[in-house]
Structure 1
Amino acid sequence: MARALHHLDLWVDDVARAEGEWGWLLAACGWQREEGVRSWLHPDGTYVFMEHSPDQHGTHDRLRPGVNHLALTVEDRARLDRVRAESTEHGWHELYADRYPHAGGEAHLALYLESSEGFEVEVVVEP
């Protein structure tokens, strides 16, 4: 089956900080860093590319029109718990911690994180 998403360009303000945060999270979810570029590749061929563009203006606000959040998958609850345990030391802030791992509903296992620039990522256990 063909992949559903070809790639995502992620525009950030602070590339060095974002590279550390996103690089860690993507690796924790099974993505591989591509040599020589600021890009991470998923086993299905989808990739995420990160840059700071001179065309950017303003700051990211997921509550304005545009993409609200990105959802990544992990294979099991143990991996989800590990990502949660390590996320803070890699610059991520947990959202809805009081409802972990069911903030999305009782049948949905997920972790909700926010980067230092306000990007939200939902990490979901793929059944």
Structure 2
Amino acid sequence: MHAPPPSSGLHHLELWTADLAVSEPAWHWLMTTLGWRAGRVEGWELGRIWRHADGSYLVLEQSEDVRGEHAERRAPGMNHLALRVRDRELLDRVRREAPGHGWQELFAEHYPHAGGGGHTAWYAEDPHGIEVELVAGP
């Protein structure tokens, strides 16, 4: 008999957007650049999925239950999503290319150490204000 695996890691994260047609291209570019595989659910036109090799996945969905047009990271709820990147080279590439894909950099004057001297990261918002932090290194 096998013991169940320990509880750990992320199973999935679901993000709601006010307009999938606006936000999906930005997320698709980012997630596939980071090595996540894009997937679709047949018959679900208002949702997109990207899967990581570890089995976790991210969902982006437009729902009629969404309130407002813009995320507010300073309000109660999720402040931002932080993802690991392979290395500083990829982090720099994402930073260079991101504006052309709908991402607005945050804390640019402090890149790559806006999170502190020993923390190498890039911060940005998608077209609807959802913040992402990409962390290079351990």
TM-score by structure 1 length?
0.93
Identity of aligned residues (%): 50
Q: Which runs of 4+ in 1 moved over 6 A?
A: none
AA paired with 1:53? S
Number of equivalenced pairs: 127
Equivalents in 2 of 1:115, 1:50: separation in Å? 12
Counterpart in 2 of 1:79? 90
Q: Tell me if the contact between 2:83 and 2:132 (Cα under 8 Å) persists in the aligned partners.
A: yes
TM-score by structure 2 length?
0.86
Counterpart in 2 of 1:6? 11
Give structure 1 stretches of 5+ with no counterpart: none
Deviation per CA, 1:59-93: give whole Å up to 9, x if none: 42111100000001111000000000000000001
Counterpart in 1 of 2:38? 33
Equivalents in 2 of 1:18, 1:126: separation in Å? 27
AA paired with 2:61? E
Deviation per CA, 1:24-71: give whole Å up to 9, x if none: 111122211014461000111110111111122224211110000000
SS of aligned partner of 1:5: coil
What root-mean-square deviation, in Å, do the aligned CA atoms of Structure 1 and Structure 2 show? 1.5
Q: Tell me if the contact between 1:29 and 1:72 (Cα under 8 Å) persists in the aligned partners.
A: no
1:53 matched to 2:53? The reply is: no
More displaced 10-residue stretch of structure 1: 78-87 or 37-46: 37-46
Give structure 2 stretches of 5+ with no counterpart: 1-5, 43-47
Counterpart in 2 of 1:122? 133
Equivalents in 2 of 1:17, 1:95: separation in Å? 19
- Please identify the structure whose Cα radius of gyration is greater: 2
Equivalents in 1 of 2:65, 2:104: separation in Å? 28
